[in-house]
Each structure stands twice: as structure tokens, then as C-alpha cells.
Structure 1
Amino acid sequence: MRLGIDFGTTRTVVAAVHRGRYPVVSFESPDGFSDYLPGMASLHPGGIRFGAEASRDPSVPILRSVKAAITGVAPDEPVRGWPAVDMSALQLTTEYLRFVRQMLVERSNLEVSPLDPLEVMVAVPANASTRQRYLTIEAFQRAGFQVLGLLNEPTAAAIEYAKNSLGVLSRRSPKRYVVVYDMGGGTFDTAAVSLVDRRFELLASEGIARLGGNDFDALIADLTLEAAGVARPELSDNAWAHLLERCRLAKETLTPASRKLFVDVADLLPCGSVVIEAARLYDIATPLVEQTIELMDRLFGELVHHGVDPGNSRELGAVYLVGGSVQFPAVTRLLKQRFKRKLLLAPQPHAATAVGLAIAADADAGVYVREAPTRHFGVWREAEAGREKIFDPIIQKRLGASLEGSVIAQRTYRPVHSVGRLRFVECGGLDDAAQPTGDLTPWGNVLFPYDPALLDCSELERHCPERNEGLASEEIVETYEYGVTGVIRVHIENRTSGYSRSYVLGECVGEGVA
């Protein structure tokens, strides 16, 4: 069975491939059936509970979002925000996805047995680091899924848009691209995706790693504490997490006609409930929404570099709203003012990405997806015989480029130190001198013995400062492969002495010496 799985901050949504249709999967829950699995976890004496089974008892430690807890964390680093649990980001994600698989088999409307292979297409935010891409794929595989591929979330949403708007794909249609506005629980992405010839290519993207529905929840929580006369320091971290979850539930009752918001704070605060003026909430939330519109303006400005005229409205299919937070009234109000008739809300905003992933997983759908690197990747190197450090941009962002298969890059040099310490970095941009700018994602160091005498040494770190002029005869070759899933593999070879080591970035451990 083939599935599209959108592992989101607030919820995980699954869509199935079934005879040319892509239904959203329903799950049994304590409150009936639901078309998503909550991304929560709670800690009990018997272990961790996920999803709807996670407790809302204020005395029970909760993690509001598994995905938010592991975002920006290396796979083997401990989970943030939940010190009671000694688990790495990869371990926690794997356990949550095992829960998802179990729910699909035992408590969903799918007809699937425990032994049936589940082939999945998965997604990450467009500006996700290689580390996040690796962690996502590895956790799905460890949880028992067979990963068919990994897409950028806006690309998956664009595929779903095209499926619902078949006219934009006709040869006579002037529509050349769609702009996806994707606001989930924890991240914001906007991207322009080509629609030409059903070849879904990411033309340009912008994003904010930590802006989404969780920020609106925090605003509501602040207003709730203000109304209740309670200061934030008076709440424990766990009580604050429970309050944020109550605020999320209240937020999701809002409609454009709502004038007041009722927040149930029973068992959390001295008062049983709090009433908040919706207009005041929207005013406070407006600066956050304005940040997203500023990024969209920047996105439209980038399109001229890809042969697109952003001033020609006939070429734009729509500004397509997806994600669980796009129906927050403060979001839709400002977007309507800015984009007017071009604005289009997905039929199921929270499920659009999952449905697009299912379509991409369907071999009979006739969809062709081409993804390119969405961030710059490089390494800090020594220059001037080791006296200076410069950034070498190995794999550069190639949005809108026509790429087939993997991107390969090589570097050849002769070393001056006994051990090479490679400090890998990803970044959102490069300045005129090709130095990293914007948001940076540093990686752990990779150590490689340039000196053949250190091949079996277990303490390479202490040899890093050693200069060795005698190594000038050793030829070192680095080969980098950016795969179609966004994972980077590195192969470092001492070609003169005939040994090498390979690494998958994200693991940051050698795969062995050849």
C-alpha cells in the first residue's frame, strides 16, 4: 500500500493511494473518528503515550509537539523541552512514527495487516536542513515504513492544487506557476512552484523556521494569564505547556465572525474560564502575519530570475493557502487585503500536503517532480598554508534549476596538517564574497587522517593542530553527493596511499574504511 504522510508540528495526516483517488485516512480516537493524529506525547509510569492518548491531566508531563522538539536538533542529541525523558531526537521521532504505523494497522479505516509493506512519500519544509531531511527519512525507515521519496512540503501542496484545478495544466492555460502559502503549527513556508508540463519544480522559496500556530497559541496564553491576573513565572513549564494546548483548542473554534474567544482553564488557573476579545488578539497577531507577507513579496521579486513576470497575474494560478493555521482569522484577513481574488483556500488545508504526497507516490498519476537544493552547503577550509579560514560553498542553492538525479561535487588538494577537521555548514544565503549569510546550521566535525600513519588512530582530535610538510605528496579527493531526497553523502579518499572513508551527513559517523 502506498501512502502520503505529512508529519507535522501539530498533527500527522495520512492520505492513501486507491485506484486514482487519494482519500485522507481516518483514525479511531477517544472522541470518535479523526482525520489526523495529534503530534503530542505524554509521560506516564508505563512509558510514553502519543497522539490522542496523550493525557490532558495538568499533573502529567506533556510534550506538545514531537516535531517541534526535534526541529534544529542533531539526530543523536537529546530532545529539547522534555528533560524527564532521556531520548535522542532520532529515537523519539522513530517511536512516534512507530505509533503512527500501529494506528494505521490497528485503528484506522485502512484495510492493512501488520505484515503489509507500507510505502510512503514524506515531506519536510522547503528550507529544512540536510540534518532534518536525514532524520526524517531515517526515522520513517526505522519505524517500519519503506520510504519512496522525500519532497518539499510546498511542492506536495502544489501537486494537490493542480489535481483539484485540472484546467491550469492544459497546454492552452496561461498559468505557469502557483505560490503556496503554508503555515503549520510551528513553521511557515512560501514557495513558487512551476506548473508547466506537469513538471513540478521549486522555483523559489522563503521560510521562517519557527513561526506558526504555536505563536498564536502563545499570544492567547499571554492574554489568558493577563485576564486571570497570573504572572508567567508562577506557572511551571508543564503547566505552561498544558495552557498552550488549551489555547490551541480554543483558537481552532474561531471563525471570521467570532467576536470573543473562550479559553477553558479549569484545573490550571484559579478561574474556570477566560474570555478574550478577538479583535485585540488579531491586532497583537498582525505583526507576525506581516512577516509572512514580507517574505512573499521577496519571493515574487525572485521570480524574475526564472523567466517569470510577477506583474502578469495571468501567469499566476493562485496564492494557495495550506496548513493547519491558515484559517486563523488574522491570517486570512491580511492575505485577502493583499492578494484579493488570487487567494485560494485548499479544500482541506490541513491535509493538502498529505494528499499531494499520495499523488506523487502514485506511479499512475503521471506526475513528474524535480527538486533542487534549497540551501547552500559548504565547509570551512584552511587557506594560505593553514593560516586563514575560508568558506568553500560546495553545493549551492539551485532553485528553479533543471536537475536530473543527484548533484555531485568534488574537491582535490594536498594537505598541510596530519588530520583534517571538516566543519560543515548549511546557510540560507551567500554574500558577494561567497561567505555564508542568513540562518546557519552548523554540523558536527568530521575528522579524516591525512597522514597514513594515523589510519588506525582512535584519538584523531589531538593530532588536528599538527602541521606535517611531509604530506605534500598525498593527494586528497573529497566527493559530495546531494541525493534526490536532500541527504548529503561525503566520500573522502587519500588517493596516494589508497584508503578512504564515507559519511552520511546527519549520522556524522564513518561508514568504514576502504
Structure 2
Amino acid sequence: MASSAAQVHALGAAAHFTAANSIKNYPNRTVFLGAKLNTTSTPSGLKLRSKQSSARRGSTFRVVAEKVVGIDLGTTNSAVAAMEGGKPTIVTNAEGQRTTPSVVAYTKNSDRLVGQIAKRQAVVNPENTFFSVKRFIGRKMSEVDDESKQVSYNVVRDENGNVKLDCPAIGKQFAAEEISAQVLRKLVDDASKFLNDKVTKAVVTVPAYFNDSQRTATKDAGRIAGLEVLRIINEPTAASLAYGFEKKSNETILVFDLGGGTFDVSVLEVGDGVFEVLSTSGDTHLGGDDFDKRIVDWLAASFKNDEGIDLLKDKQALQHGPKHIETTLTRAKFEELCSDLLDRLKTPVQNSLRDAKLSFSDLDEVILVGGSTRIPAVQELVKKLTSKDPNVTVNPDEVVALGAAVQVAISYFLCDITLPGDEVERMVSEAEKFAKEDKEKRDAIDTKNQADSVVYQTEKQLKELGDKIPAPVKEKVEAKLGELKDAISGGLTQTMKDAMTALNQEVMQIGQSLYNQPGAAAPGAGPTPGAGATPSESSEKGPDGDVIDADFTDSK
């Protein structure tokens, strides 16, 4: 981090020098420097000088420094970081902790609890304690059937098909954005106290696989919290920034992110200060909580065998920890208990390399993110898979938030700039030029994701129904399924769309054939896999249509 800090100092000095020259060369232009501009970093690509013609026209150029934080809004825990003295620094919360549980609860007295205090009472108030809300943000009820079964509170569908979280304690249903906003509000309030400065703006991180709807919803959560979300950036990009990879060029990085509730793997390519996510994979139902549960189950089973008491049915024992147990859990035993969980980590890593069309030998660096990567068996597994020693020089709990703070430091976001009219017109023209290309790229990504889902759902349906499906119908479905798989391998967007349509038509025949069977009511034949909104329709825009999916770019 020393080199990163040095670079940040240099950026700040460079901006200060450039601003000074702007004042000297163009005395008729206004430049206001905030008190902290020369101690916090400033964008390397920001040019404070402009053409003399613009200066002669008397256009105003205003630079204002203000506090902006980086927020890692996690599934299980969240963290905040800010630039202090030219270095990214984790903000401690009101409880003195460096991370905050992403948990919100309501008591019978209608009191709202956020963070650690909400987590502590979760076992005795399960129906009114909301956790892992990140799984539901920006998604329809039809998309979260599995996720809704993994939580203790009631997840319901509103009249528009959106996800709502039921809170019987106060007789209200919340959108996932509202609960996330309450977590963000605490994070920002604690940051304001820590920094002794009001914080109203932030850069917020999201998983690389988040779609437009989920990114917009995250930004909306910030707006609900009274926070202006200046940019949404990918978590693996933020982690890479924290490790200082923005200074490197032509490197391929694998980010192994094992958090409390989710597991994500991303492959990035770094070149000339630009981060490109080549592929993502993971398991949204695998994390440190699963490893913890194996230990709890083992302890409870041992206690029941010795004492005849089932601790898993005792809420107080679960909340405060099993009582009067003295035992030894060796690393070997722990790894035995979690062997299947460790095995589940392998496939997403292999898939991410395959999707990026790379081999393990192509990787230049492997970095670990998430507190669960501290498990020795996890680190050993990563080393065996990649044949590289993972980089563990940054605290895995804090790396994403630190990277978000670095993004703040190197962005144009520390400044409020009134650009000359001709510059604005040029930017609008360029944005329109590339809008079509960007839309096509998003459509291609959404289509592939939908095609993968259709393949999975169809295979699942064929397996579950088995011999109940007439052979001729099954043969046609399997033939179209093969064509869709071939289309996915080919990577042509329209071909995948056509193959999905053809497959869906055949899948509909499954339900019809079962319905026509004597005494049958099409058991198990639910909605057509992948049917409904097209990829372009599934990406929802916010009220202002301002969805920003941005990675760091160091303009020269």
C-alpha cells in the first residue's frame, strides 16, 4: 500500500500544481480549492486548464473538494472507507468495529435496530430480522424462489411481481431497497462521526454479475438513505484497486471472493489503467456461514450424544453459544466436516477460466477477498488449483471498501466542475455514438445469462419428470436443448434467442402431454423456463435512467 499512497500523494500534488497554473494563466476564471484538496488525492486525468478561447468567453470553472466515501454493501457484512492523509482508511462504526452486519430488525415496540445489535437478537425475533437482503434487491419474485426459502422472514410478492419483505412487528412490507437504505444510513452516519464531516456522497460496490436492475436498485437504496451514489463499481475491480493493480499493465487477475453468504470468482484484465471483467462465476448459497454451521451441528450432535439434549432446538443456546461444552476441534476434523463445501469452491474457479478462454498458466495474480478466505484449507485449495501463492497483503474483510475509497480518490467525483458548453456538446455526441454499441453488449450478456438459466431449468424439469414425459416429446426437447447449448457455445446473440424460442415451444408440450394423460394435471410442469421478459425488457431503469456501470479509467 506504500506505493499506492505515494501515487495518491503525487496525484494530489499534481492537481494542486495544475490548479495554481490555471489561476496564473487565466486570472479571469474562478478556481475554488477546498481545504483538503492538497491532502486528498485528485484525479490524474482531470485537466483543470482549458482552451484560451473558452477563457476569453468568460466561462466559469469551479472546483469544490468534499468528503466522499467508498462503501462495500455486503450480503452479510458491510464496510466503509475514506481517503485520509492520502491513504484509504477503514471507518470504524459507532460500536468501534471495522465492519457492520448488514442486518435490520424491528422489535415488538416498533424500535428499529441496525447492525450488530440487530444481529444479536435475530434468533429470538426471526420473523422481523432482515439479513442477506442483497439477494433480493432489484429482482422479481419469480427470480428468487430458492433465496426466499433460505431466510427466516417472509418474502412476498406485490401486485407488480416485485419482492417485498413482510414485517409483522409493525404491520408493514418493505422493498429490499428500503432495508438496504437503512444499512447505508447507519454506515454514512457512522462515517460522518468518524470523519467529523458530513458525508452525503459515496461510491458503492456491487458484484460483477449484477444486472442493470440490481445496480439501479442499489443506487435507489442510496437515494432513499439520503445518499448520492456517484458511481456503482464492480467488487472485483474495487479489490484490484486496493491492491494497487491500477498501476500495472497487461496483467490477468483472478479475484477469489468468499464472503459470509456468497462465493464469487472473477477474472479481470488490467491494461493502461482500465479494468475489464472477462468472466464471473460463483455460488450465491455458499459462504462462511455454511462453514460455521458445520461446526455448530458437530458440537450439537456431540452434546446430544453425551447429554441427550438437542441444543439446536434451544434458541437461547443458539444465540449465546452452546453451554458447558469442552472439546477440541482439530484442523483435520474441521476440514473433514467441510470437505464437500471445499469441493464446491473448485467448479466456479474452473468455470471462470473456461468462460474467459484462459488457462491457469495465463494468470499473473490471484487475490483473496472475504473473511472466509482466511481458512487455511481455502488458501491451500486456491494454491493447488492455480499453482500460485494467493496475494493476502490486504485485509480480506476490508479490501473491497478500501478499493472503493481508492476509486473515489482517482475519480472526477471529488470535484464539482462546470464544463465549457462545447465540451459538454462533445461528450453528448460521443455518448450517443457509443450508446448503440453499449446496448448491444448488455443485450449479449443478458441473453447468455438467460440462455444458461433456460438450459438449467429444462434439464432440471426433464430429470424430475423422468418417464412421465412421452418419449417423442422428450426427444424433441432434448434435441432443441442441444441446439441451445451449441448456440451458447457459438456466442451469437440472435442465434441464442432463436434457440431459446424453439426450446420453449417444445417445453410447453411437456405440460400439455402430461395434462392429456388420464387423471393428470400436469404435475411439476410450471412456467416455461426462461419465458417472459426478453433480456432487454428485464433490465429496469431508474426514474432518471441514470444507471452507471463503470470501472476505473485513468485518462491520459
- Give the TM-score normalised by structure 1: 0.60
The answer for the alignment partner of 2:485 in structure 1 is: 431
Picking from 184, 202, 210, the partner of 1:97 is 184
The answer for the alignment partner of 2:364 in structure 1 is: 317
The answer for the alignment partner of 1:87 in structure 2 is: 173
1:27-52, CA deviations, whole angstroms, 9 ceiling, x for partnerless residues?
A: 231xxx22111223444334221112
Q: Which amino acid aligns with 1:201?
A: E
Give RMSD over aligned pairs. 4.1
- Uncovered stretches (5+) of structure 2, i.e. residues with no partner: 1-66, 155-166, 414-433, 442-448, 454-483, 488-495, 501-533, 548-556
The answer for the alignment partner of 2:33 in structure 1 is: none
Structure possessing the higher relative contact order (Cα contacts under 8 Å, 6 or more residues apart): 2
1:260-297, CA deviations, whole angstroms, 9 ceiling, x for partnerless residues?
A: xxxx424xxxx456643432221221222222222212
What SS does the aligned partner of 1:210 have? Answer: coil
Picking from 347, 362, 372, the partner of 1:294 is 347
1:132-183, CA deviations, whole angstroms, 9 ceiling, x for partnerless residues?
A: 32322211111011111112211211222235x85x44xxxxx521110011
Residues 228, 132 of structure 1: CA spacing in aligned structure 2 closer, same or farther, 3 A cutoff?
farther
Picking from 425, 435, 438, the partner of 1:407 is 438
Q: Which amino acid aligns with 1:98?
A: R
The answer for the alignment partner of 2:315 in structure 1 is: 239
Residues 39, 219 of structure 1: CA spacing in aligned structure 2 closer, same or farther, 3 A cutoff?
same
1:57-78, CA deviations, whole angstroms, 9 ceiling, x for partnerless residues?
A: 5874158985514514666879
Residues 157, 427 of structure 1: CA spacing in aligned structure 2 closer, same or farther, 3 A cutoff?
farther
The answer for the alignment partner of 2:400 in structure 1 is: 353
The answer for the alignment partner of 1:139 in structure 2 is: 221
Aligned partners of 1:282 and 1:329 also within 8 Å: no
Deviation at 1:323, TM superposition (A): 1.0
Q: Across the two proteins, how many residue pairs are aligned to each other?
A: 358
The answer for the alignment partner of 2:162 in structure 1 is: none
Aligned partners of 1:69 and 1:81 also within 8 Å: no
Structure 1 window deviating more from structure 2 (427-436 vs 121-130): it is 427-436
Please identify which structure carries the higher helix content.
2
Q: Which runs of 4+ in 1 moved over 6 A?
A: 75-79, 230-234, 403-406, 502-505
Picking from 63, 68, 71, the partner of 1:5 is 71
The 2-side partners of 1:227 and 1:91 are apart by: 42
The 1-side partners of 2:276 and 2:86 are apart by: 23
Deviation at 1:94, TM superposition (A): 1.9
Residues 76, 355 of structure 1: CA spacing in aligned structure 2 closer, same or farther, 3 A cutoff?
same
Matched, 1:40 2:103: yes
Aligned partners of 2:103 and 2:119 also within 8 Å: no
Picking from 251, 258, 275, the partner of 1:176 is 251
Aligned partners of 2:122 and 2:129 also within 8 Å: no
The answer for the alignment partner of 1:379 in structure 2 is: none
The answer for the alignment partner of 2:276 in structure 1 is: 201
- Uncovered stretches (5+) of structure 1, i.e. residues with no partner: 170-174, 247-263, 367-402, 411-424, 438-477, 492-501, 506-514
Aligned partners of 2:260 and 2:372 also within 8 Å: yes
Matched, 1:192 2:279: no
Aligned partners of 2:251 and 2:269 also within 8 Å: yes
Aligned partners of 2:279 and 2:352 also within 8 Å: yes
Residues 272, 40 of structure 1: CA spacing in aligned structure 2 closer, same or farther, 3 A cutoff?
farther
Q: Which amino acid aligns with 2:282?
A: G
The 2-side partners of 1:431 and 1:232 are apart by: 52
The 1-side partners of 2:120 and 2:129 are apart by: 14
The 1-side partners of 2:104 and 2:439 are apart by: 40
1:491-512, CA deviations, whole angstroms, 9 ceiling, x for partnerless residues?
A: 9xxxxxxxxxx9999xxxxxxx
The 2-side partners of 1:299 and 1:76 are apart by: 26
Q: Which amino acid aligns with 2:237?
A: T
Residues 479, 210 of structure 1: CA spacing in aligned structure 2 closer, same or farther, 3 A cutoff?
closer
Matched, 1:154 2:217: no
Aligned partners of 1:186 and 1:209 also within 8 Å: yes
The 1-side partners of 2:139 and 2:342 are apart by: 31
Residues 181, 200 of structure 1: CA spacing in aligned structure 2 closer, same or farther, 3 A cutoff?
same
What SS does the aligned partner of 1:206 have? Answer: strand
Matched, 1:335 2:382: yes
Aligned partners of 1:177 and 1:196 also within 8 Å: no
Aligned partners of 1:122 and 1:149 also within 8 Å: yes
Q: Which amino acid aligns with 1:276?
A: L
Matched, 1:61 2:125: yes
Aligned partners of 1:184 and 1:212 also within 8 Å: yes
1:298-342, CA deviations, whole angstroms, 9 ceiling, x for partnerless residues?
A: 2223333xxx66534xxx331111112110222123223333444
The answer for the alignment partner of 1:125 in structure 2 is: 207
Q: Which amino acid aligns with 1:265?
A: P
The 2-side partners of 1:490 and 1:24 are apart by: 30
Matched, 1:265 2:322: yes
Q: Which amino acid aligns with 1:198?
A: G
Aligned partners of 2:72 and 2:400 also within 8 Å: yes
The 2-side partners of 1:126 and 1:156 are apart by: 10
